[in-house]
Amino acid sequence: MAVEAHALVEEVERAAERLDALRGSSFVFWMDVHGPVRCPGPDLTAAAVAAYGDVTRVTGVDPVEDWRSEVREAAHRMGHFHRLFRGAARKEPEFLVEWVLEIIEDTLGTVRGAGRVTHRPAGWYAALWEDRVLVTDEWALVLSLTNDS
């Protein structure tokens, strides 16, 4: 499979920009992708190190079973007041999260392994952050969710 890494990164950036435009709802956050890179094997820590490159020092990865639910829950934790919003006020941010989850697998293939990444220095780039390493048969990437507000 020929991965269109540039297209994947651009799609995530577009979704993140739209989320940023919705910041007034206090539901939203920023998403970013480190990678994708060729997967160095099934080891999640090695995959996270490869995806980050020289950006940070990975100190560990806690494996997760249901990566999609983990990302959804992290997205909700990023929005301080998300429970105050119902209906239409929540639809677009939730749609954008689902869109990103879909385009990752549509572009890279089925995610076979995932984990929550810890790194040093902890919290080095945002007030709130959660990173997930995602590994397919051929690719690895780190999906970062952050909130500075």
Mean pLDDT by 10-residue block, N- to C-terminus, for the chain (149 residues)?
Answer: 68 73 58 88 93 84 95 79 62 79 90 90 65 94 81
Radius of gyration of the chain (CA): 15
Number of domains comprising the chain: 1
pLDDT at 81: 54
pLDDT at 144: 87
Q: Alpha-carbon distance 96 to 100, whole Å?
A: 6
Query: How far from the centroid of its chain's Cα atoms is residue 92's Cα?
Result: 17
pLDDT at 65: 93
> Domain span at residue 92?
5-147
Q: Alpha-carbon distance 18 to 9, whole Å?
A: 14
